[in-house]
Amino acid sequence: MPYIPDLEFTGAEHRPAAPSVKAAMAPGAGLASLGKDIGEAADDLRAMHEKKEREQSFAAGSRASLALGRELEGAAAFRNASPDPSTWQQDSDGRYARVRELINKEDIPPEEREKLKSWLDSQQGQDAAATTSQADYQRRATNRTDIMRLFEVQMAHGDFDAADATLAGAEQSGNFRRGELDDERADFGYRRKRHLERVEENKLYASYKADPAKHWERFKSHTPPEGADPVKYQRDREFVRGALLERNREDSQDIINGIETGKITSDEDIDHHGADITPAARAELKRSLAAKQNAETLAFRRTPLYQWQVIGETSRLLDEWKPDTANFDVKFNRILSNVASLPPGPDRETLQAQVDQVRTGKLRDVQTRYDAGLRAFDEYDRMLFAKLPGQQRMKTSVAIAGGFLQDTDKLKNWFPEDVVRHISTGTLTGERSDTQSRDRFRQAWVHRQTKTAGDAQLQATAEAIYQDEEEIDYFTKDAIEARQKHDQESGRRRQEFDRWMKLHPHADDTQIRGKISELSNAAVVKSALAQMFTPRPRRT
């Protein structure tokens, strides 16, 4: 810059002052300030641009992360819906491609885009490894499921050889860890054992059903033999009893019908047609045949007294009959014979309906006033029957220990002398053997020459030994006559009540109680009978 001298004027004349350093530097300082302002403005613009880029990049990363999250959720849903793991990776690659395309469209610096792509590549690599692992796990799980499903099907069909091979192959296939199938192997062994046991059990039960009378000899007693499984013994006993009851019902009913129609006329016919029922049950059928062929009995059958006796006795037998007793088939045959001996009509139909209920174990609940009346008479008869005199009871073992099977005079009531000697003789050494004598007695009893001894106690003792009953029940002559009279009176009451109910189907409780009281002679019983009818609540 040119130097301008400072002229100083004196007096009235003004002289310019000499320039100062500060004044000389002022223009430069102004330019410097302007440059600084421009630089600061540029820095601000650059900072704003960088901030915008950071915001855009962050937002772009957020959008990419959000998009990837949605795609991963979709991938999880796809895998749950698709059972084929081979499609999972292709689906995953397509989803990452869509996120990559989104990143490419973002308005962000190249280096930021590359960072997002690198992040996405890393995520895709990790996800690919996880997808492969998950697919392998799913394939293994499917293989395991299919293998075990085949194993179970083979087990269910009893093909244990094939199931064993499947299990062995599974252990070597790599689909299962070492020792992972130990429980299945143990279960296989148990189930194969149980299957074989069931096969043998089914064979045994088939033999029970084919010849229940033969097997019933082993199960007459409620007490299992020493060393036997008590649970299995009772289960087998119940099965044999049921099979015997059904076989007895079918065969005995056919025989009874044959007796009534005249097609069966001899004991030999009964033995032939009743080969599958117990000897004791056949004996009861033979008694029915003898009664049918007896002229005096046939004449008695045509009287009301006989019909009352049959109705009363059969009702009592049905009331006290228990299918789990040793001689249940004998009593049931007595019931069947009684019903068949009645002439066709309402009395026979009523008893037959009660027999069917007892046989099937489906006793009908009290549904009508008539049902209630019959139940009342059951209770009445039980009370009267319990008061009958003459009933005797003793242990069968006491009779045997007392020498019944060695008493030749008693045995002669049924057997010839040679059979008596065979039964009463002990062992070869001459020692007494009750077991041997009992077995010989049972064998000979079926072929005895005299069916019934004159003494009721002797006959009851012999029958109890033959049927292996624990107790001997017998009645004196007076007791037998008292039982017959009881049954006749019971039958008369029931028959009259049945006919009265048919004439008065709408009788109310008071009228029915009055009829029961009229038919019941014992005052002490009338109140008990009346209590069996609960008056219905009156409507207010």
**Of the candidate ranges 343-347, 351-355, 372-376, the one whose mean pLDDT is the lowest:** 372-376
User: Is 511 within a domain?
Assistant: no
Q: Are residues 335 and 219 in the same domain?
A: yes
Q: Are residues 295 and 408 in the same domain?
A: no
- Is the separation of the CB atoms in 259 and 285 below 8 Å? yes
Q: Are residues 120 and 246 in the same domain?
A: no
Q: Which domain holds residue 430?
A: 393-475
Q: Are residues 133 and 257 in the same domain?
A: no
User: Is 79 within a domain?
Assistant: yes
Average pLDDT over residues 212-231: 82
User: Is 110 within a domain?
Assistant: yes
Q: Are residues 306 and 399 in the same domain?
A: no
pLDDT above 90: percentage of residues in the chain: 4
Tens of pLDDT, residue by residue over 260-284, are: 888 999 989 998 888 877 777 888 8
Average pLDDT over residues 37-63: 67
Higher pLDDT, 417 or 2: 417
Q: pLDDT at residue 137 above 80?
A: no
Q: Given the structure tokens 């697919």, which residue do they identify?
A: 135
Q: pLDDT at residue 512 above 70?
A: yes
- Domain end, chosen from 318, 345, 372, is at 345
User: Is 483 within a domain?
Assistant: no
- Is the separation of the CB atoms in 350 and 357 below 8 Å? no
pTM of the predicted model, to two decimals? 0.49
Q: Are residues 205 and 273 in the same domain?
A: yes
**Of the candidate ranges 477-486, 503-512, 523-532, the one whose mean pLDDT is the lowest:** 523-532
User: Is 406 within a domain?
Assistant: yes
Rounded-to-integer distance, Cα 329 and Cα 467, Å: 11
Q: What angle do CA 440, 442, 321 make, to 5 degrees?
A: 160
Rounded-to-integer distance, Cα 454 and Cα 445, Å: 16
DSSP string, 3-45: --------TTS--PPPPPHHHHHHHHHHHHHHHHHHHHHHHHH
Average pLDDT over residues 181-198: 82
Q: Are residues 232 and 312 in the same domain?
A: yes
Higher pLDDT, 278 or 508: 508
Q: Are residues 341 and 470 in the same domain?
A: no
**Of the candidate ranges 140-144, 220-224, 321-325, 362-366, the one whose mean pLDDT is the lowest:** 362-366
Q: Are residues 206 and 318 in the same domain?
A: yes
Tens of pLDDT, residue by residue over 404-452, are: 998 999 999 999 999 998 888 865 555 678 888 888 998 888 888 877 7
- Of the pLDDT bands very low, low, confident and very high (cuts 50, 70, 90), residue 1 is very low
- Is the separation of the CB atoms in 240 and 213 below 8 Å? no
Higher pLDDT, 391 or 169: 169
User: Is 40 within a domain?
Assistant: yes
What's the residue count for the chain?
540
Q: Are residues 429 and 318 in the same domain?
A: no
User: Is 495 within a domain?
Assistant: no
Q: Are residues 237 and 304 in the same domain?
A: yes
- Of the pLDDT bands very low, low, confident and very high (cuts 50, 70, 90), residue 384 is confident
User: Is 29 within a domain?
Assistant: no
Q: Per the structure, how many domains does the chain have?
A: 3
Q: Are residues 203 and 339 in the same domain?
A: yes
DSSP string, 236-292: HHHHHHHHHHHHHHHHHHHHHHHHHHTS--SHHHHHHHTTTS-HHHHHHHHHHHHHH
Rounded-to-integer distance, Cα 84 and Cα 77, Å: 13
